[in-house]
C-alpha cells in the first residue's frame, strides 16, 4: 500500500513538473510565453530602411515576369522556348542577392507554362550527377538534349545613393535582358526603377 | 476708366469660372464615388478609408493573359496620399490562384495615376483590387 501511494505521488510530481515545461499558446501554436515574435504578411510593403528590400525584390520580379510574357519570342513561340538563367551583375553599393530576383522570375514564368527552364550553373553539378546516374536506364542523347537552351536571361543592378544631413535618397535601376546565345542578339530588355527616400529625424538622442 | 472696367469684368468672370471649376470637380468626385460604390461590391475592396478612389478600370486579354488597367484618383483636393494596392487573381472556378505583392504608390491632390497589372497564369479569368490608405 505504501509503495503504491509512493508511485502515485511520484507520478503526480512528474506530471506537475512536465506541465511546467509545456509551452503556452492556443491550438496549433507554440510560443515562448512572453515572446515578441509574430508572423506578418510576406507581401506587405516593407520600409524598415531605404536599402533594397523584400518589396523591391517582389515588385521587380513580378513586373519583369509580366513584361517577359509579352515578348513575341515567348508569346508567339510555336512551343515554349527553353531559357537559362545567367548571372545578374550587382553593380550597386550594397549586397543584393540578384539570384533571388531571377529565381522569382523563373518561378512565375514556369507557372505560366509559356517558358521552360534548364538548370542554371549554380546547381548544374547536381543535375549532371543525376544525369550520369540515369545513363544506365536512358539514352544519354535524350538527356543531353535537355541541356540545350534557346535564350538566356541576364542583366545588371545599379544604384545611386545620395545623402545630406536630413535626407537619404537611394535610386535603383534593375535591367534585365533576354539574349539569343547563338547570335548574341538582345531580344528583350526592360528596366525597373526604384526610388526610396528616408528622412532623418530632426530631433535625436 | 475703361481699364478699371475691363479689369473688374475679368475678375468677375474669373470668379464665376472658379466657382464652376469647383462645382465640376465636386460633381466629378461624386460620380467617381458612385462608381466606386458600385465597383466595391465585388471588384474593389477598400481596407480602410476611401481617400484614394478608382476612377477607371479596364480589363483585357493579351496573348492569353488577363490584364487590368486601373486609374486611381486622389479624392482629396490638396493633400498628397500614399497608398498600397494588391491584386488577387482568380480562375474560372473562383479559386484564388495568385496575389501580387502590395504595391506602394503616391498620388498628389486631385490627380490621377494609372497602373497596369497582368496575370502570369493563363487560367486566370477574374480579379479583385484591394486598396489600403492607412499607414
Nearest to A112 among B99, B103, B120 (CB): B120
The C-alpha atoms of residue B72 and residue B110 are separated, in whole angstroms, by 10
Which domains, from first to last, does chain A contain?
A: 49-199 (3.40.50)
Once rounded to an integer, what is the mean pLDDT over residues A179-205? 88
By CB neighbour count within 10 A (0-12 exposed, 13-18 middle, 19+ buried), where does B43 fall?
middle
- Chain mean pLDDT for chain A: 83
Pair type for strands B103-107 and B81-91: antiparallel
Minimal-distance CA residue of chain B relative to A70: B63
* pLDDT (tens digit per residue) in B33-66: 676 666 665 788 888 877 888 988 999 999 899 9
Q: Which is more confident, B41 or A176?
A: A176
Share of chain A above pLDDT 70, in %: 77
Best A62, A76, A77, A194 residue to mutate vs chain B (most B CBs within 10 Å): A62
Q: Which is more confident, A129 or B44?
A: B44
Residue A31 binned pLDDT confidence (cut-offs 50, 70, 90): confident
The C-alpha atoms of residue B100 and residue B87 are separated, in whole angstroms, by 5
Query: Which residues of chain A from 125 to 154 reach within 8 Å of chain B, CB to CB?
Result: none
- Least reliable range by pLDDT among A104-113, A119-128, B49-58, B104-113: A119-128
For residue A203, give the 3-state DSSP assignment: coil
Cβ neighbours of B65 in A, within 8 Å: 69, 112
pLDDT score of B20 more than 60: no
Residue B4 binned pLDDT confidence (cut-offs 50, 70, 90): low
Sign of the Cα torsion A6, A11, A12, A17 reads positive
- Chain mean pLDDT for chain B: 81
Which domains, from first to last, does chain B contain?
A: 2-132 (2.60.40.3230)
And the C-alpha cell for B94?
473562383
Whether A130 contacts A138, CB under 8 Å? no
Sign of the Cα torsion B19, B25, B30, B31 reads positive
ipTM surpasses cut 0.90: no
* Phi–psi pair at B96, nearest 5 degrees: -75, 115
* pLDDT (tens digit per residue) in B98-112: 999 999 999 988 889
For residue B87, the distance in angstroms to the closest alpha carbon of chain A comes to 11
pLDDT score of A38 more than 70: yes
For residue B29, the distance in angstroms to the closest alpha carbon of chain A comes to 28
For residue A110, the distance in angstroms to the closest alpha carbon of chain B comes to 9
Residue A109 near chain B (CB below 8 Å): yes
What is residue A104's predicted lDDT score, i.e. its pLDDT?
93
What is residue A109's predicted lDDT score, i.e. its pLDDT?
94
Look up cell 493579351; give the residue.
B62
Amino acid at each position: 500500500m505504501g509503495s503504491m501511494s509512493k508511485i502515485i505521488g511520484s507520478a503526480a510530481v512528474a506530471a506537475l513538473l512536465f506541465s511546467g515545461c509545456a509551452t503556452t499558446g492556443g491550438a496549433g501554436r507554440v510560443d515562448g510565453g512572453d515572446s515578441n515574435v509574430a508572423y506578418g504578411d510576406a507581401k506587405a510593403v516593407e520600409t524598415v530602411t531605404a536599402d533594397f528590400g523584400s518589396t523591391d525584390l517582389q515588385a521587380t520580379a513580378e513586373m519583369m515576369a509580366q513584361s517577359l510574357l509579352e515578348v513575341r519570342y515567348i508569346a508567339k513561340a510555336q512551343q515554349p522556348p527553353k531559357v537559362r538563367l545567367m548571372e545578374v551583375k550587382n553593380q550597386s553599393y550594397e549586397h543584393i542577392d540578384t539570384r533571388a530576383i531571377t529565381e522569382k522570375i523563373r518561378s512565375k514564368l514556369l507557372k505560366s507554362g509559356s517558358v521552360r527552364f534548364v538548370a542554371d550553373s549554380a546547381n548544374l553539378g547536381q543535375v549532371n550527377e543525376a544525369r550520369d546516374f540515369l545513363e544506365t536506364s536512358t539514352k544519354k542523347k535524350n538527356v543531353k538534349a535537355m541541356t540545350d537552351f534557346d535564350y538566356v536571361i541576364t542583366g545588371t543592378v545599379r544604384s545611386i545613393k545620395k545623402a545630406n544631413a536630413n535626407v537619404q535618397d537611394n535610386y535603383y535601376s534593375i535591367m534585365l535582358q533576354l539574349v539569343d546565345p547563338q547570335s548574341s542578339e538582345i531580344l528583350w530588355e526592360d528596366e525597373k526603377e526604384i526610388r526610396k527616400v528616408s528622412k532623418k529625424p530632426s530631433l535625436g538622442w | 476708366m475703361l481699364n478699371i472696367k475691363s479689369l473688374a469684368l475679368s475678375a468677375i468672370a474669373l470668379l464665376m469660372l472658379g466657382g464652376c471649376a469647383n462645382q465640376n470637380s465636386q460633381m466629378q468626385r461624386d460620380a467617381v464615388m458612385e462608381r466606386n460604390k458600385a465597383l466595391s461590391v465585388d471588384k474593389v475592396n477598400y481596407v480602410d478609408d476611401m481617400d484614394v478612389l478608382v476612377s477607371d478600370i479596364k480589363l483585357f486579354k493579351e496573348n492569353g493573359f488577363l490584364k487590368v488597367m486601373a486609374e486611381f484618383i486622389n479624392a482629396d483636393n490638396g493633400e498628397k496620399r500614399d497608398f498600397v494596392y494588391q491584386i488577387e487573381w482568380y480562375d474560372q472556378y473562383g479559386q484564388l490562384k495568385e496575389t501580387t505583392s502590395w504595391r506602394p504608390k503616391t498620388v498628389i491632390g486631385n490627380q490621377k495615376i494609372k497602373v497596369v497589372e497582368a496575370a502570369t497564369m493563363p487560367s486566370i479569368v477574374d480579379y479583385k483590387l484591394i486598396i489600403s490608405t492607412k499607414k
